[in-house]
């Protein structure tokens, strides 16, 4: 287990943080906005998305595409998911996610992968696929849509939060299939 001082040191070393994740003991990954988003981001989108994902994920597998520091992967694990894989193309985000995983003592797998490399052969098949805040980063959306491993079971959530000139607040939407 890491000491408080070690955690604080790593938090500083791994800045900037886009996801605010509670590490316990009054320590959060982020304490200020990075790009105009709310300081508690992604708590706002999670209020919407969390309602579209089963509260009990026992025995389920979850793929978090574009996981950033791992907020949604962590929430999936907290809901009891058997397997959680977070992938992100940014080395810094994967480092942050691995650090948070260790600080929280969670069994979550993280990989640095280009989103265009994702398929059943490279990552397997998942019951739930999350692609949250990812779409607006993709240059070749149709190519990516064909390659994302379709969920084997019930739920896929895809969101993006475009910013308008009048609002810096993210907008979220989620889709639930039965």
pLDDT tens track for 77-126? 999 999 999 999 999 999 999 999 999 999 999 999 988 788 888 898 89
Domain contains 176: no
Domain contains 165: no
Range of the domain at 155: 4-159
**Residue 94 near residue 64 (C-beta atoms within 8 A):** no
**Looking at the 3D structure of the chain, how many domains does it have?**
1
Domain contains 20: yes
Domain contains 164: no
Q: What is the CATH number of the domain that holds 125?
A: 3.40.50.150
pLDDT tens track for 121-157? 889 889 888 887 665 455 555 555 555 555 444 555 5
Residue 145 vs residues 90, 116, 130, 166: alpha-carbon distances, Å:
20, 9, 13, 30
Q: What is the enclosing helix (H) or strand (E) of 46? A: helix 43-52
Domain contains 173: no
State residue 172's pLDDT score: 44
């Amino acid at each position: 287990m890491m000491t408080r001082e070690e955690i604080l040191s790593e938090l500083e070393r791994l800045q900037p943080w886009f996801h605010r994740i509670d590490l316990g003991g009054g320590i959060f990954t982020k304490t200020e906005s990075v790009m105009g988003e709310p300081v508690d981001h992604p708590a706002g989108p999670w209020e919407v998305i969390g309602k579209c994902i089963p509260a009990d994920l026992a025995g389920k597998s979850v793929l978090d595409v574009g996981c950033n520091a791992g907020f949604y992967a962590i929430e999936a694990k907290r809901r009891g998911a058997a397997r959680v894989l977070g992938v992100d193309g940014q080395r810094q985000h994967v480092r942050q996610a691995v650090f948070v995983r260790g600080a929280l003592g969670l069994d979550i797998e993280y990989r640095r992968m280009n989103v265009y490399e994702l398929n059943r052969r490279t990552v397997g098949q998942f019951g739930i696929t999350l692609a949250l805040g990812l779409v607006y980063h993709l240059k070749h959306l149709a190519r990516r849509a064909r390659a994302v491993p379709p969920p084997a079971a019930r739920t896929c959530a895809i969101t993006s939060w475009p910013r308008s000139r009048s609002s810096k607040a993210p907008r979220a939407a989620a889709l639930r299939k039965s």
